[in-house]
Amino acid sequence: MAAEIADTLRQAVDLHQQGQIARATALYQRILQSHPRHFDALHLLGVACLQNGNPEAALALVGQAIRVNPRSADALTNLGNALRELGRHAQALTCYDRALGIRPDSAEARYNRALALQELQRHDDALAEYDRALALRPEYIEARYNRGVVLQDSRRYEDAALAFAQLLELAPDCPYAAGKLGYLRLLCCDWASYHDQLAQLTGDVRAGRRVCDPFSFAAMSNSAAAQLVCASTYAADRYPQAVPPLWSGERYDHGKIRVAYLSADFHEHATTHLMAGLFEHHDTDRFEITAISFGPDRQDGMRQRLINAFSGFIDVRGKSDREVALLLREMEIDIAVDLKGYTQGSRPGILAQRPAPVQINYLGMPATMGASYFDYIIADSWVIPPEHHPHYSEQILYLPDTYQATDDSRHIDVHTPVRADLSLPEEGFVFCCFNNNYKITPDLFTLWMRLLHQVSGSVLWLLEDNPVATRNLRAEARLRGIAPERLVFAPRIAAGAHLARHRLADLFLDTLPYSAHTTASDALWAGLPVLTCAGETFAGRVAASLLSAAGLPELITQDLDHYAALALELARNPTRLREIRARLAHNRGTCPLFATDRFRRHLESAYIILWERCRRQETPAAFCVLSVGHATRLLGASGSDD
């Protein structure tokens, strides 16, 4: 009998190592039927459950195994892994410490301990633990990858780029490492291999290789078709749809439509600067609005404002994706709106469980999610023109005016600093771009430097994001014949003061292929004209959408030659620029862009349509909300009327 059990275990382990987890699971279960306290079967079945996304079952099984053999460092490490997946980080650290007490040279325990510290945002401790794991096993690819991520999260971008470059030397095919390196070099404004790296990444993405995460690729790519391939590859690999789904067609009968917004950014953040007014304006007679918060609990004024705005505010940081999804299902949420997509701090694994009848990609991710469990993406005719429909896995939910919410109660400090206090020239023309540094490309920077050559005494006012980018941008200016001091850098400051300092600039120059989003809204709200060039992707067309809704379509150009010519004309024609600024100031109180309640009515109209279609068990279909008080129209796949 013992020999038979040993043979069955060997078969199971072989299958498990080959990735045939279902067949291995069946053999582990067969052993446990006759030997319910078999340590290896309990432990490895728990590992299989963890790999299948069921940390609750893993916790129970590995816990039983440890009661059989409390001195197994591997089992203690996997118990910690199950606890970490469930968000119980302190308990997980205790398990890793116990494992290391038994086997101090366990690279796996060190690595997983580092992951728990990383998830607790204890970056320095996590780095030290990754270094210990790598000292034990220098070829530990996962440890090298996540060490690079911690360096990025610590804003040590140059060190992170070096870490990923070294990783790629060891493992050229390491999933997503090449994309990380490309994005980090953009954060550093290190353009030494920009064009070659972009061409290589794009080719690999189109071939379906796992080389880049979708958000990093959106920052580099000017192809919506390639972005769809990237997102589809990533979703299938990292966030496959759960089977069976938590919601499978049940009809809810509520007095109000239940909408949940999911985000890590319910505090002072660019997203909430746009969304706070919408949350406060929602019709609570018709809707029950809930915040699902999985980000940090920062006790700032915005967080308290948001807590007051929602019907319910639920902090789920300590819950696993599965637990959060179960919560949404138990709450019978009708519409789940993901505000993060694949951006930093996102948790797509929640909606991969399909907890709600309608699931929406909105605002955070200016591209497709590439996943079947996202039914809709909220857009407008600028950011997703009809010919781009095939490049989205979601159905398009078109709002009129613009897709982007804005808050018409945003405060701007009354005090305006003088130019000299901010190192700006008293008389010279101030070109400005407060976009994140990763959005600046070498071709666009060359165009900007040409403008500085052509406009005597002008300067370029940029966001000071990190010292490496500042150093590199000044060096790039010098290479193009521009004195480095003609680049002026603005540190990050409080929102009201930041908006006020926009008054000192003359013209905001947008970026491409990733345009200004919140930064364009900021500039227009503060009265600063924005010049954009509409790209070929959602991310590259947002500023165009905002300018259209602000009544300034003449500031939307279709190519960089026209963009450069118009920037030069506006810098040399103060009368025309003053007229545009005056029109922006006049439009500010009346244009659709800053009409928060108008936007709210349009969005709620869309939610009602989605709810009604779901109750009729109709499949998701693209549609337009035409305007306040008007009907909607359904769209065919090509964007034409049905």
Closest CA to 495 of 227, 190, 271: 271
Q: Tokens 């040279």 belong to which residue? A: 105
Can you give the length of the chain in residues?
642
The pLDDT tens digits of the residues spanning 556-590 come to: 999 999 999 999 999 999 999 999 999 999 999 99
Residues 436-465: tens digit of each pLDDT: 999 999 999 999 999 999 999 999 999 999
Tokens standing for residue 551: 């009544």
pLDDT at 15 over 60: yes
482, part of any domain: yes
Give the residue ranges of DSSP H helices in 52-119: 55-68, 73-85, 89-102, 107-119
The encoded tokens of residue 224 equal 């919506």
Half-sphere exposure of 44 (CA within 13 A, CB side): 27
Q: Which pLDDT tens digit goes with each residue over 226-260?
A: 999 999 999 999 999 998 999 999 999 899 999 99
Q: Mean pLDDT, to the nearest integer, of 535-555?
A: 98
- Give the Å distances, CA to CA, from 279 to 258, 274, 638: 13, 10, 33
Instruction: Give 151's contacts (C-beta < 8 A, 6+ positions apart).
Output: 127, 157, 159, 160, 163
Is residue 638 scored above 80 in pLDDT? no
- What is the domain-level CATH number for residue 438? 3.40.50.2000
Q: Give the separation between CA 181 and CA 167, rounded to whole angstroms.
A: 10
Which residue type does 164 have?
F
**Contact assessment for residue 481 and residue 453, using Cβ atoms and an 8 Å cutoff:** yes
Q: What distance lies between CA 107 and its chain's CA centroid? A: 31
Q: What is the DSSP letter of 641?
A: B
For 42-69, write each residue's pLDDT tens digit. 999 999 999 988 899 999 999 999 999 9
- What is the pLDDT averaged over residues 170-186? 98
Question: Quick one: pLDDT at residue 634?
Answer: 55
Question: Could you list the residue range(s) of the whole structural domain that residue 434 is in?
Answer: 419-594
User: Alpha-carbon torsion 633, 639, 641, 642, what sign?
Assistant: negative
Tens of pLDDT, residue by residue over 326-372, are: 999 999 999 999 999 999 999 999 999 999 999 999 999 999 999 99
551 backbone φψ class: left, alpha, beta (φ>0; ψ -120 to 50): left
Judge whether 549 lies within some domain: yes
Position 636 pLDDT exceeds 50: no
Give the C-alpha separation, 99 to 128, whole Å: 18
* Rg of the chain, C-alpha, whole Å: 26
Reduced to 3 states (helix: H, G, I; strand: E, B; else coil), residue 354 is: coil
The confidence score (pLDDT) of residue 635 equals: 58
State how far the alpha carbon of 537 is from the alpha carbons of 335, 449, 627, in Å: 26, 25, 25
Share of the chain above pLDDT 90, in %: 94
Distance CA 121, CA 40 (A): 34
> For position 119, what pLDDT does the model report?
93
Closest residue by Cα to residue 515 from 404, 429, 377: 404
Q: How far is CA 200 from the centre of its chain?
A: 23
Main-chain phi, psi angles of 433, to 5 degrees: -150, 110
pLDDT in the model for residue 628: 61
372-418 tens-digit pLDDT: 999 999 999 999 999 999 999 999 999 999 999 999 999 999 999 99
Q: For the residues 292-297, what does the mean pLDDT come to? A: 95
Does residue 43 lie in a domain region?
no
Give a yes or no: residue 472 inside a domain. yes
Q: In which element (H, E) is residue 306 found?
A: helix 301-309
Q: With respect to residue 573, please indicate whether it lies within any of the assigned structural domains.
A: yes
Q: Judge if the upstream peptide bond of residue 553 is cis by omega within 30 degrees of 0.
A: no
Tokens linked to 42? 């309990």
Angle at 188 between CA 187 and CA 192, to 5 degrees: 115
Check residue 2 and give its pLDDT. Answer: 81
Average pLDDT score, the chain: 95
Please, where are the H alpha helices in 137-252? 141-153, 157-170, 177-187, 194-206, 214-220, 224-238
Tokens coding 497: 């003061």
Residue 328 counted as domain residue: no
Q: Is residue 325 part of a domain?
A: no
Q: Report the alpha-carbon distance of residue 170 to residue 152 in Å, rounded.
A: 20
Question: How many alpha carbons lie under 13 Å from residue 428 in its C-beta half-sphere?
Answer: 22
Range 65-74, long-range pairs (CB < 8 A, 24+ positions): 65/39, 65/40, 68/37, 68/38, 68/39, 68/42, 69/39, 71/102, 72/39, 72/43, 72/102, 73/99, 73/100, 73/102, 73/103, 73/106, 73/109, 74/43, 74/99, 74/108
Residue 25 has φ and ψ, to the nearest 5°, of -60, -45
Structural domains of the chain, count = 1
In a domain, 198, yes or no: no
Does pLDDT of 287 surpass 70?
A: yes
Query: Within 10 Å of residue 49's Cβ, how many Cβ atoms?
Result: 22
Backbone angles phi, psi at 543, to 5 degrees: -60, -35
Tell me which residue has tokens 């920077």: 445
CA separation for the pair 324, 242 (Å, rounded): 14
| Residue 87 banded pLDDT, cuts 50, 70, 90 | confident
CB burial class (10 A; 0-12, 13-18, 19+) of residue 421?
exposed
Cα 348 to Cα 53, 404, 605, distances in angstroms: 14, 21, 26
Q: What share of the chain is helix, strand, coil (3-state, %, to 5)?
A: 55, 10, 35
